[in-house]
Amino acid sequence: MNWKQDSKEIEEKILQKITPSCEEKNRLQKIIKALKKDVRREIKKRKIPADPILVGSTAKDTYLKNNLDIDLFLLFPTNFSKEQLKKHVISIGRKVLQKPQECYAEHPYIRGIYKDYKTEIVPCYKIEYASQKISAVDRTPLHTEYVKKHLQEQQKREVRLLKQFLKGIGCYGAEAEIEGFSGYLCEILIIKYGSFQKVLEDAQNWNIGKKLYLSKEKEKKNLPDFDEPLTFIDPVDHSRNVASAVSKEKLVLFIKASREYIKKPSITFFFPRKIKTWPLKRIKEKIGKTGYHFVGIKLPKPDIIPENLYPQIRKALRSIKDLCLKYDFKVMDIKFHVDETNDIIYIILQTDKTQLSKTFTHKGPPTRLKKNVEEFLQKWKNNPRVTKKPYEKNGRLYVEIKREYIEIKKLLKNKLTTLSLGKHIDEVIKKKGYNILDVDDLLVDDLKNFWTAYLDKKMPWER
């Protein structure tokens, strides 16, 4: 049998697990109807011209069984101010939802629980065309309408298969924590290719910088050129890349998974086995065999929503890596782990060495460049860090300088608060402090899952 036939048999089994039953769909529809009724009641009390509409996967019937959120948008006239939108949606949400939590993106919105379902109530402006948008979320109802119009009934199962495949390999979700494929991106991929199998057939040959369009968009001129790992021009708004959230790492993982699945289809791509956590003794042995050194930073987790937290953590990683490079410490890899139970962020650096020589040779200009030579000599003439005065070798000047930092731990301890790590991370470490950790301090139960996944190197479907 060829891979497509093997895949078909697997797909049928997967669909039985991920497709909601008629009873579940009916129950959800009743709950949505009740939610709209409650929201309309609150709208009427406030005498505001807002219209509640369902958006997202529940509206398009592409959600996965036991994995859905209700997204209700309140459409306001464009003459309402953003402050009015905030005021009304927060007050309505507090009346209608249990455990309400205010969230802040481009628009403030509110999330909570409605009859056991995670629910978000989001304000936006009512528009007919994307060009009329005042904020990014104004397009969302247009996305919902586009998919409902163009996605055929039998293709909903294909969307579900693609979503579960991406979920299984760790690439599903456009949120900052994951940097993967959004539900809307999955839907327009199926609209473009027609089926889950055809998406994978093409994706196995993608490269970084791949650009996708629906046929009508491809014919249009003057489309923007996005410098991102994956581009899919939004059929609703040609100025937007639907795939902008997809990181290089997640795109590479999806391409690899597509190739491997086509070679040998398996249910483990959709539902990978759980990682069997290694004991600390084995983790320590594996770390020793890498030949590298590990240093950690332990800091308090700011009390902010994930959408704001993860971009700041990634900014912190870049700043820390740049700092180390500036002082000649080569960082081979830098990762993070968020311990939600204890509200801690661990940042872990893999380096080739943790201590450098006390001095280093600094290269100067060629001796033929007289002006540059004069400037170089003047700069280092009386510098207290000079251990060997400027000298000439093979037609170029050199000088030996005492390093400011020879230990990476000392560098991180002294310089971390001088970096821009992200607004809330900066605030929390100045208020509560941080710790620099040796590898032995990183061998703790809270990091066993992190170390197992990091050192094992197996793909999700290979476990």
Structurally, the chain folds into a number of domains equal to 4
454 and 320 in one domain? yes
Q: List, for residues 206-261, the tens digit of each pLDDT value.
A: 999 999 998 665 556 677 889 999 999 999 999 899 999 999 999 999 999 999 99
What CATH number did the domain enclosing 102 receive?
3.30.460.10
314 and 256 in one domain? no
260 and 218 in one domain? yes
Task: From 84, 119, 143, give the residue that closes a domain.
Answer: 143
pTM score: 0.89
pLDDT of residue 220: 62
Residue 194 phi, psi (nearest 5):
100, -30
170 and 111 in one domain? no
Residue type for position 94: R
The answer to whether residue 3 is domain-embedded is no
103 and 79 in one domain? yes
170 and 212 in one domain? yes
The answer to whether residue 9 is domain-embedded is no
For 30, the enclosing helix (H) or strand (E) is: helix 22-46
204 and 284 in one domain? no
- The phi-psi region of residue 170 (left if phi > 0; otherwise alpha if psi is between -120 and 50; otherwise beta) is left
**Percent of residues, the chain, with pLDDT higher than 90:** 86
234 and 199 in one domain? yes
The answer to whether residue 15 is domain-embedded is no
Task: From 108, 143, 178, give the residue that closes a domain.
Answer: 143
CB 239 within 8 A of CB 224: yes
Task: From 219, 254, 272, give the residue that closes a domain.
Answer: 272
3-class secondary structure, 279: coil
Query: Mean pLDDT in the chain?
Result: 94
Distant-in-sequence, close-in-space partners of 60: CB < 8 Å, separation ≥ 6: 144, 147, 148, 151, 156, 187
Residue 234 phi, psi (nearest 5):
-65, 120
Q: Could you count the other beta carbons within 10 Å of the beta carbon of residue 207?
A: 10
Q: Is pLDDT above 80 for 458?
A: yes
155 and 188 in one domain? yes
390 and 412 in one domain? no
The answer to whether residue 132 is domain-embedded is yes
* Residues of the domain holding 395: 359-402
Range of weakest confidence among 128-137, 158-167, 453-462: 128-137
3-class secondary structure, 355: strand
pLDDT of residue 390: 92
Q: Is pLDDT above 60 for 406?
A: yes
The answer to whether residue 14 is domain-embedded is no
